[in-house]
Structure 1
Amino acid sequence: MINRRNFIIGAAGLVSATQFPALSLARTSSTELELIAGPAKKKLFRPDAEASDVWAYNGEVPGPEIRVRKGDRVRVRFTNNLEEPTSIHWHGIRIDNAMDGVSGLTQEAVQPGASFVYDFEVPDAGTYWYHAHNKSWNQVGRGLYGPMIIDEPERPFDSSHDITLVLDDWRLRRPGVLDTESFGSLMDWSHGGRLGNWITVNGGAVPVTALKRGEAYRLRLINAANARVFEIDPNRFDAKVLAYDGQALSEPISLAYAPAMLGPAQRMDLLVVPQENFALEEVSSDDPFVMAEFKVEGVATAAVTAPAVAINAIPEPDIANARRVKVLMEGGAMGGFVEITYQGKKLQGEDVQSTRQTWAFNGVANLADDPLFVAERGQTIIIETINRTAWVHAMHVHGHHFRVISRSGSEVDEGKPWRDTFLIGPNQTTEIAFVTDNPGKWLYHCHMLEHAAAGMTTWFTVA
């Protein structure tokens, strides 16, 4: 488990309170959903504060919660009412490559006023999310994201006991409105990414949720922040971990090493059987910050047996016969001189300022003409990622789930759970293993969105 013993990301001191917003699903027919991206107004700070200019799906931040069942075919008619091109990535879902939503790689970006139909089947139950994947540093940072929950064929938790919590941090300026002028700051791109100074859960600050005493609940945590790593200790309210990144564990576990680090794009499902009021807190500082409160009501009944959560079938890596690929991460502030090639040219002098490319994988910034590797279908790949930068990164593999098989300087997560995003600290080396069972062109990139834009993006092909 990545935890405080490995590295610490500080959180800004925050205070607040707003109402818990509803997440709803827009449906145009029994088989087709509708998502519309466009400008909107939203109060992110106190109820008496000014509304911020945000970008939203169907006018909501987060966007509507899309909820389907494992094995369903999903059709989403997406319309772009922004003034710039965009696309939607369905994060963590082992999706058909043409529907992955990566503009410039798997599809052309959807132009202003145009529409695109995403049509795919969902193979795995779990907690996922969707977000913009064109200029993500700008579009996700302004609010273009939402939860996607894929239920088991037989739901172990009913709707009143299955709660989604989308975490985000926002950079606000006085009088409590979104700071839009600082998007694209080279300081953010070359340092730790765009960190905010205000935390919301499901679009509001410190929501309060009523729970029944002694009953089992699933809390689905999704980190939608551009760069913030949330530090969370489930042991503070006797919760157990049910799943990481949408993939259920064989049984609920209590964390031996807490708190846990929830990086950008990562998810964590928790099992809680509340007896007293409790709070979900960010605990990276000496004074924990309350992100959400839970009021426990009623009288406890007999002892509860927590529902069993089904495990998805993901092919196990064949470590003994794996092909190894090395990725050296370099660059960024305090990284020393690094020779970077971008679009076939070695950057010199003021090129960094003009191209804004400050990071590199194996000396290359951003999408190279050639893939990082080409794999046969069904091949086991081990990616050894070596972080020679001064910063933490959240590395995401598209189209696949993997196991972390080694991590220098710290423990490998108990049971080596399936993940689609992993955290790697400064001067740390991490190995992941997965089976390339999904054909197409897939990204491997840092989900600190400013880092991805500034060079930490590559791709691979499954033939």
Structure 2
Amino acid sequence: MMHQRFAAAACCLAAWATASLAAEPGNLRLAEDLNPDPHILELRLVAEPATVDLGGVNAHAFTFNGAIPGPELRLKVGDEVIAHFTNRLPEPVSVHFHGIELDNAHDGTTTTQDPVQPGGSFSYRFHVTRPGIFWYHPHAMMPTDQVFKGLYGVVVVEDPAEAALVSRGVLPRQDYTLMLSDTTVCKAPGRNDTATFPADPALPWSLTAKGLGSFPGNNAYPTPKDLCETPRDGHGHPRPGPLAAGDIPNVQPPGNCGGKTSCRVNEGQIVLGNGRIAPEVEVRAGQGLRLRLVNAAVSRYFRLWLADASGQRVNLVRVGGEGGLLDRARLEGGRQGSLDLQYDPGEIMLANADRADVVFTVPDAKPGEVLTLWTGDYQHYGTTEYPFGYGGVPSAPVLKLRVAGPAKARERYSIAAGAPLRLHPAVQAPVEDLRGLPITAHLQDPAKFEVPLPGSADESILFTVLGLRESIDGIHGMALEGGAGGGYRAIPYLASSRYARVGDLLELTIRNGTQQHHPLHLHGFSFQPVRLLDSTGKLVYEYDYNEFMDTIDVPATHQLVFRVRLHDRPLAGSDKAGGAAGRWMLHCHIFNHAGIGMMAELVVLP
């Protein structure tokens, strides 16, 4: 019998949203469950083209189950997911459940399965073993364009500590999942913009306050006119054009940059929150609201701040993210050790594929007043192509919160930085500390294997640019995306491949040798950041809290030291161990960077 998971929760949320969250555009649908077992979520997941309303702009998009984003998967730790995937798109697709520590055969990459061809199907099966905010997206043969066209969805795994904290008023009762992204929609041929963002002093710009003047615009190649009127295929090569009004163009550059002086991919013109332009929800003055945030954009960093109608800032307090709740609430931004983070205290910065669990108190505003969650330009680029390291992106609203009146006395909420969460007396379940454990294992030397393999035992992994293209250790890892024939089992190991064994606790270093930030993503395992160093190895910041992550931003010319335990897990659909063994990708999660070579792998041996 089909039933809707968390139907009661949806009904409660309807009381504070503008309309029922299950029906109001801009709010997420919950996955329809085909299985009566309360510990199994069995669903149909269909990749299909659809014309969607982005909020006044109609787009011919790629979708999961006909909408952007796809259905939200709401789970508890220990639940099993069985996702029956069907591909109705005209190109191959696989599904990667980003951040989930699952059986390698179900990781959804080109080294674990052959992409699902048009008309084909594949069933993904796994248990969720860690709380947190996760998401799903394609990962077959340069998925940049598929994500840019709308192919993504969210997974929320409830933390076991949540119920106790909500009942005691430490966490708000109301929560809202917000997937952030951007895209560009073509206009009629001959009418496409010759600048992604024209210079306009009337547009708000987050860097004006830093003395950089009014909004400078961005007319760098490729512009919407370039993308829509001289379009690319899925490999970045020219294809017949122009595209029709409403089409979303491909943005992935070719592997050789197409003879251009850069492989640049500009941010999308339209900023989306849950597939809509600035969706709106209803709140009450004095209440608390919890936002589960996901950056699903191809290349845009989201620098987020909340402001009331007068522009007064409201602090966003982080309580968790990729590994569930933190030990204590954190007010982030400002400085991290000797590093200027380039965003202010009380703001939240999400690099590509980052997630954050944040809370705030709605200020005592009058009924009808609107608070706005904004995103602004962020200085994460190198200065060779980008003036002062910014992208030329105007500030844009991503969510509007309309005050309907005052909250009831029992609904009023406040929280301070440092407030105990996992360390709360009602919970007392601190995050595991990997930093204090002895390191007893190291990477394997593949040259010493009985049958030697390409690879490296160097525990320092270099992000670098070679010939205008991003790489790892000077190796362009595009071979890991397949396409050379022979299926996924024939994909070669690379000189940048690393090898370790199930059960190892490793300490590894990512060295960012470029002038740009890069968000590191490791498949299959959560890690803990330990320290941040500058390019010379001098300490910049020693992490003073524990958190499990699968994606983290590595600043330009800095080094990140992290620890990871390669714990085993059962094979899908059985109790037999061995699910951790296999090939796990490690890459920059700016999709177009991975697509032109900033990709390697961690091969975990039994």
Q: How does 1:329-368 map to 2 (within 5 A)?
A: 329-331=463-465, 358-366=469-477, 367=480
> Partner of 1:140: helix, strand, or coil?
helix
CA deviation after TM superposition for structure 1 residue 244, in Å: 2.6
Out of 281, 288, 294, which is 1:209 matched to? 281
Quickly say closer, same or farther: Cα 1:71–1:395, change in 2 above 3 A.
same
Q: Please give the per-residue CA displacement for 1:86-132, whole angstroms capped at 9, x wherever unaligned.
A: 11111111112111111x21122112111111111111122111111
Say what the alpha-carbon RMSD is for the aligned residues.
Answer: 3.0
CA deviation after TM superposition for structure 1 residue 43, in Å: 2.7
Quickly say closer, same or farther: Cα 1:407–1:426, change in 2 above 3 A.
same
Give the stretch that moved more between structures: 304-313 or 287-296: 304-313
Question: Does the Cα contact within 8 Å between 2:148 and 2:297 map onto a contact in 1?
Answer: yes
Question: Does the Cα contact within 8 Å between 1:170 and 1:178 map onto a contact in 2?
Answer: no
Gaps of 5+ in 1: 1-17, 336-357
CA deviation after TM superposition for structure 1 residue 67, in Å: 1.2
Question: Does the Cα contact within 8 Å between 1:170 and 1:197 map onto a contact in 2?
Answer: yes
Out of 431, 437, 441, which is 2:567 matched to? 437
Q: Please give the per-residue CA displacement for 1:191-223, whole angstroms capped at 9, x wherever unaligned.
A: 454521210000001111112333332210000
Quickly say closer, same or farther: Cα 1:412–1:369, change in 2 above 3 A.
same
In structure 2, what is the Cα distance between the partners aligned to 1:27 and 1:216?
30
Look up the equivalent residue of 1:282 and give its one-letter code: T
Look up the equivalent residue of 1:170 and give its one-letter code: T
Q: How does 1:233-248 map to 2 (within 5 A)?
A: 233=305, 236-248=313-325
Q: Please give the per-residue CA displacement for 1:393-452, whole angstroms capped at 9, x wherever unaligned.
A: 111011111122222345455525322111123322222211111422211011111111
Look up the equivalent residue of 2:592 and give its one-letter code: E
Determine which structure has greater relative contact order: mean sequence separation of CA pairs < 8 Å that are 6+ residues apart, divided by chain length.
1
In structure 1, what is the Cα distance between the partners aligned to 2:559 and 2:296?
25
Look up the equivalent residue of 2:508 and give its one-letter code: I
Q: Is residue 270 of structure 2 the alignment partner of residue 128 of structure 1? A: no
Question: Does the Cα contact within 8 Å between 1:332 and 1:359 map onto a contact in 2?
Answer: yes
Question: Does the Cα contact within 8 Å between 2:149 and 2:248 map onto a contact in 1?
Answer: no
Q: Which residue of 1 aligns with 2:532?
A: 407
Q: Is residue 282 of structure 2 the alignment partner of residue 282 of structure 1? A: no
> Partner of 2:592: helix, strand, or coil?
helix
Q: Please give the per-residue CA displacement for 1:310-349, whole angstroms capped at 9, x wherever unaligned.
A: 768657253554636111222267x5xxxxxxxxxxxxxx
> Partner of 1:419: helix, strand, or coil?
coil
In structure 2, what is the Cα distance between the partners aligned to 1:189 and 1:93?
37
Gaps of 5+ in 2: 1-23, 189-244, 308-312, 335-343, 379-392, 443-457, 481-491, 535-539, 569-579
Q: How does 1:236-385 map to 2 (within 5 A)?
A: 236-255=313-332, 257=334, 258=344, 259-275=347-363, 276=365, 277-284=370-377, 288-300=395-407, 301=409, 304=413, 308=421, 316-317=434-435, 318=437, 320-321=439-440, 323=442, 325-331=459-465, 358-366=469-477, 367=480, 369-370=493-494, 372-385=497-510
Q: How does 1:11-26 map to 2 (within 5 A)?
A: 19-26=25-32
Quickly say closer, same or farther: Cα 1:305–1:182, change in 2 above 3 A.
closer
Quickly say closer, same or farther: Cα 1:189–1:411, change in 2 above 3 A.
farther
Question: Does the Cα contact within 8 Å between 1:408 and 1:430 map onto a contact in 2?
Answer: yes
In structure 2, what is the Cα distance between the partners aligned to 1:231 and 1:190?
25
Q: Which has the higher strand share?
A: 1
Q: Which residue of 1 aligns with 2:593?
A: 451
Look up the equivalent residue of 2:504 and give its one-letter code: Q
CA deviation after TM superposition for structure 1 residue 80, in Å: 0.7
Out of 272, 289, 304, which is 1:232 matched to? 304
Q: Is residue 512 of structure 2 the alignment partner of residue 387 of structure 1? A: yes
Q: Which residue of 2 aligns with 1:397?
A: 522
Quickly say closer, same or farther: Cα 1:37–1:73, change in 2 above 3 A.
same
In structure 1, what is the Cα distance between the partners aligned to 2:588 and 2:84?
28
Quickly say closer, same or farther: Cα 1:435–1:204, change in 2 above 3 A.
same
Out of 91, 94, 115, which is 2:121 matched to? 115
In structure 1, what is the Cα distance between the partners aligned to 2:466 and 2:276?
33
In structure 2, what is the Cα distance between the partners aligned to 1:178 and 1:453?
22
Quickly say closer, same or farther: Cα 1:238–1:426, change in 2 above 3 A.
closer
In structure 1, what is the Cα distance between the partners aligned to 2:116 and 2:400?
39
Q: Is residue 110 of structure 2 the alignment partner of residue 100 of structure 1? A: no
In structure 2, what is the Cα distance between the partners aligned to 1:430 and 1:162?
32
Give the stretch that moved more between structures: 127-136 or 407-416: 407-416
Question: Does the Cα contact within 8 Å between 2:306 and 2:371 map onto a contact in 1?
Answer: no
Question: Does the Cα contact within 8 Å between 2:48 and 2:65 map onto a contact in 1?
Answer: yes
Question: Does the Cα contact within 8 Å between 1:191 and 1:332 map onto a contact in 2?
Answer: no
In structure 2, what is the Cα distance between the partners aligned to 1:200 and 1:299?
29
TM-score, normalised with respect to structure 1: 0.82
Question: Does the Cα contact within 8 Å between 2:46 and 2:65 map onto a contact in 1?
Answer: yes
CA deviation after TM superposition for structure 1 residue 383, in Å: 2.2
Quickly say closer, same or farther: Cα 1:293–1:415, change in 2 above 3 A.
same
> Partner of 2:593: helix, strand, or coil?
helix
Q: Percent identity?
A: 27
Look up the equivalent residue of 1:180 and give its one-letter code: P
Q: Which residue of 2 aligns with 1:54?
A: 61
Quickly say closer, same or farther: Cα 1:80–1:19, change in 2 above 3 A.
closer
In structure 2, what is the Cα distance between the partners aligned to 1:404 and 1:328?
17
Quickly say closer, same or farther: Cα 1:269–1:192, change in 2 above 3 A.
farther
